[in-house]
Structure 1
Amino acid sequence: MTAKQRGWTSVCRYADLAPGHGVATLVDGVQIAVFRTAAGELYAIGNRDPLSGEYVISHGVTGSRDGVPTVASPAHEYVFDLQSGTCLDDPTLALPTYPVRRYRGLVWVQR
């Protein structure tokens, strides 16, 4: 289920994205992990773990550190800031981030 609208791609229904969990999606040939927090906020970051090279970030455990929304990679358990993509355990590592929004009941990602 994808649709395009002025540079945005719909990736799933908002209601189908469980709070605290992520989904992997393919947008213009790039794997992106999309997360919905318990508070309903949306985040989109690269799905490829920079240490292992595996596409597993969408399976990571979400949480927060010092008020910053995070996801821990299941491959090496490094924690990434969902807002900036920066690794909080090793600032030399980062994931790309993407604009994400909720519109008409769908989750949209821009790439």
Structure 2
Amino acid sequence: MRVCEYDVLLPERGVAALLGEVQIALFRTHDGEVFALGNQDPFSGANVISRGIVGSRGNVPTVASPMFKQVFDLRTGACLDDPEVSLPVYAVQVVDGQVVVSTGD
């Protein structure tokens, strides 16, 4: 599903989008990669991941939840602070300047 134009995604910032009944968080990293994760923080239940702080741990692109600061790998959704917790990850690609996300439906 087309979500937005690539150019509206600011580097190192997240944006929330509703795809059907699925709320996702989109991120564009400083090097131009785009990632799509579930927007619901598994620790608080709030839909706030898109408002998290984008960064990295070593070579791993990350986002830190704005609620309790757990850090998630943007590539895999894995929580780097609690390996038993993860966010859903959605396939994302840029096609003709448009960000396209697949939620698996």
| Class of the TM-score when normalised by the shorter of the 2 chains | over 0.9
1:45 aligns with 2:49: no
TM-score normalised by structure 1 residue count: 0.91
Aligned-residue offset at 1:58: 0.2
CA displacement at 1:86 relative to structure 2: 0.4
Aligned-pair RMSD on alpha carbons?
Answer: 0.6
Partners in 1 of 2:38 and 2:70 — Cα distance?
14
Unaligned runs of 5+ in 2: none
Supply the AA of the counterpart residue of 1:14.
Answer: Y
Secondary structure of 1:99's partner? strand
Instruction: Tell me the distance in 2 between the aligned counterparts of 1:84 and 1:29.
Output: 21
Matched, 1:98 2:71: no
Deviation string for 1:20-55 (max 9, x for gaps)? Answer: 011100112100001000000010000000010000
Equivalent of 2:49 in 46, 51, 57: 57
Scaled by the length of structure 2, what TM-score is found? Answer: 0.96
For 2:13, give the aligned amino acid.
Answer: H
User: Which digits, 9 at most, give the CA deviation of each residue in 1:52-111, with x for residues without a partner?
Assistant: 000000000001102000000001100000011000001111000000010111111001
Please give the alpha-carbon distance, in whole angstroms, between the structure 2 residues aligned to 1:23 and 1:10: 14
1:9-88 pair list within 5 angstroms: 9-88=1-80
> Percent identity over the alignment?
54
Amino acid at match of 1:90: D
Structure 1 segments of 4 or more deviating over 3 A?
Answer: none
SS at match of 2:50: helix
